[in-house]
Amino acid sequence: MLPQSSSGVVEQSIPTGRFKPLVSLLRYKWLGLFILLVVSAIGIQVFSTMGVPIYQAVAVLWVSPRFTPNLETDKTMDLDRTEYPFYVKQQASLITRRDVIHEALQTAEFKKHWFLPGEDEISAGKRLQDSLTTDNKRNDPSITVKLNSENHRGLGTVLNRLIDIYLKKSQEENIFDSGDRIKWLEQHRQELEQLLAKSEQRRTQIAIELGVTTFQENSLNPYDNILVESRQAQVLAHRESVKAENQLATLNKKQSNGDTILDILVAEAVANDGELRSFTTRLTDRRTQLLTEILGLTTVHPTRQRAEQEIAKIDQDIAKATQDFMVTIRNRLLEKSKADVYQAQSIEQSLAEELDKQRQQANHYAKLYNEALVVSREITRIIQQLDKINDRIDFLSIESTAPGFVRLDTPAVEPTTPVAGKRIKILLVFIAAAFGLGIGIPLLIDILDRRIRTPGEIHKILGFPPIAWVLEHRNKQTTQSVMADQMRRLALALERDWHTHKTNYFVLTSVKAGGGTTTLTLELARLLSDFGIHTLAVELNAFKPDSRYNDIEPSAGLTRLLEQEYLDPLMFIKPATEYLPARLPVGETPEPYLVTRGKLRPLLKQLGAEYDLILLDTPPILLSADAELLGEIAGGILLVVEAEKVFPGELQRAAQLLERLNPPVVGSILNRVKIYPGGGYFSKLVKEYEKSEKLRHHLAKIG
């Protein structure tokens, strides 16, 4: 017997069998493996780059015994064997000299990457001298410069900036002093840039006042073009004004037939007005009806007199309505023509006033435009001077920094590999994090996924367990055997309820679309027919009909039986086949819902006289109201819950709808249950079936 509908009280102590750690891990094994690999890769990267507190940036300088002191000559300077070693040692000490370090600490690179929070310049300089080392082997022309720090970010940038300052100092001491010349040129450049800014500001002010963007030599003043365009616009406006006045004057001008143009336009509007035509047509029809009624009546007949009075009244109404409409149209046409004249005259007057104003401003604008041309020429001259100064500064800068005795051979790069420290702790932390996240995240995902998967969850929400659960279809023979056994159990439950409570109608509806209701209906009807119970599957899902209810193509069915009377429903029933039971399709439906017209209950009674049990395949209860309508006439309702698709809130809403229907019997089916290795009742049951299959085949071979 199927369980009765619940009152809605949920027992919190009901075990759901949902939390299975091993099942969760096997279910999301690829995700866990991916997390494990990603965290491990990050750990390896951190292990190799961030596990050491000391980093080192290295740069190499090359000291040559000769160099070209000036870019404008090929004459060279040489160091003899006695001077060269002394010069190399001198350059090695110059790198850590106080003035070089002081100037380096003023740069943006050092302020950003070297200074610690709250550290002053003296402390930063002392720390820089302590961290900086130079190495020069005997008879080796290279100097290796090393800078150590606990922070590797920007360390190579800091060392390269320090070497740039050192090379600049070295060149100033070896080559003629060009600093003062560059300084004077930069000061003159600054003065020219200020003058350029003032000139550009003045030109911008003139441009804003004139409303132009460019000033061109040997071209007309743009305001001359504006005056020409304004004159043309004023002439065109005057033409439009004269045209509008002539149109107004010609409205009352009579034609050869004695009518004015206004009369012709009014007559045309009266003839084309649909509302007036409809009004006169109604009165004319009434007048014709009255004339028909008084045919054969004498002039003294009371009916004839009343009719003639109404006819006269109709003629007056038609004439009055026509006259009123003509007056309205006439006034409207006159007012429109006058408005056009007023608008054209207003535009002409406005353009004339604008033209006068532009003429008054033309001289002022021309003066400003000429001034802007002078300013533009001055700007061009300043820019040419700046280009020459910049070229000279660039030349002197390159000359002062030209390769001398010392040049940078290998610049420092940002260190990525630490030079000392313990890395085992970091490696162990990342290994622990990799395994923790690889195991924890799949478990967390499984816990946070609220979709229903087990019969215990349905029991906890509805207050009663499902009458059956059906495994997800797979090609594996064992899974098909378990599915067939579960379907037989469900069919036997319906058979018992049919025998015990005489329940002849069962409604099958799912919570959501795609829940597998049609497959369950057809399979249950086939199994019940195999049990000897004459069973019919009726498709009531007009929202989404299923092709399995028809033989080849859509045909007439339940919809036609509900539309027409005196039809034998047995004519529309599809006969049972090897895989399908006897079934009645819904047929072609113009609407996505079932229109019963109050004939469904008698039709089901008529079918009940021919069949022992009728299974009604209805649309999802949350999607269509047809399931609620059919629930009122069914003896029992089977709610199909698709595993891993339905949320608890959706199942609760479906249960609330069923409670309002208050059917005698209600049950639930958990459909398409997925089996995951790693434990659980479903997995164990499949294994037991596998053992049984192997034993049966073994006994068959022995026999």
Is pLDDT larger for residue 685 or for residue 143? Answer: 143
Cα angle: 498, vertex 503, 504; to 5 degrees: 95
**Pick the residue with more confidence: 684 or 694?**
684
pLDDT confidence bin for 349, thresholds 50/70/90: confident
Give the per-residue pLDDT at 699: 42
Residue 703 has pLDDT above 50, yes or no: no
Q: What pLDDT score was predicted for residue 515?
A: 86
Residues 302-312, mean pLDDT to the nearest whole number = 82
The pLDDT > 70 percentage for the chain reads 77
Confidence of residue 535 (pLDDT cuts 50, 70, 90): very high
50 pLDDT above the threshold of 70: no
DSSP string for 10-29: --TT-------HHHHHHHTH
Q: Among 121-125, 349-353, 491-495, which is the least confidently predicted range?
A: 349-353
Whole-number average pLDDT of the chain:
76
Q: Which of 368-382, 513-527, 670-684 has the highest mean pLDDT?
A: 513-527
Question: Stretch 535-561: mean pLDDT, rounded?
Answer: 81
State residue 537's pLDDT score.
92
**Chain centre to alpha carbon of residue 167:** 55
Share of the chain above pLDDT 90, in %: 2
pLDDT higher than threshold 50 for residue 4: no
8 A C-beta contact, residue 264 and residue 329: no
Per-residue pLDDT, 10? 41
pLDDT in tens, 161-177: 888 888 777 766 654 45
**According to the model, what pLDDT value does residue 178 have?**
57
For residue 645, give every residue at least 6 positions away whose Cβ sits within 8 Å of its Cβ, in sequence order, or none: 451, 512, 514, 515, 672
Across 23-32, 294-303, 387-396, 399-408, least confident range:
399-408
Q: Which pair of structure tokens corresponds to residue 191? A: 């003065």
Higher pLDDT, 390 or 401: 390
Provide DSSP, 125-194. HHHHHHHEEEE--TT--EEEEEEEES--TTHHHHHHHHHHHHHHHHHHHHS---HHHHHHHHHHHHHHHH
φ, ψ at 343 (rounded to 5°): -65, -45
- Report pLDDT for 80: 61
pLDDT at 245: 76
pTM for this predicted structure:
0.45
CA–CA dist 124, 119 (Å, integer): 7
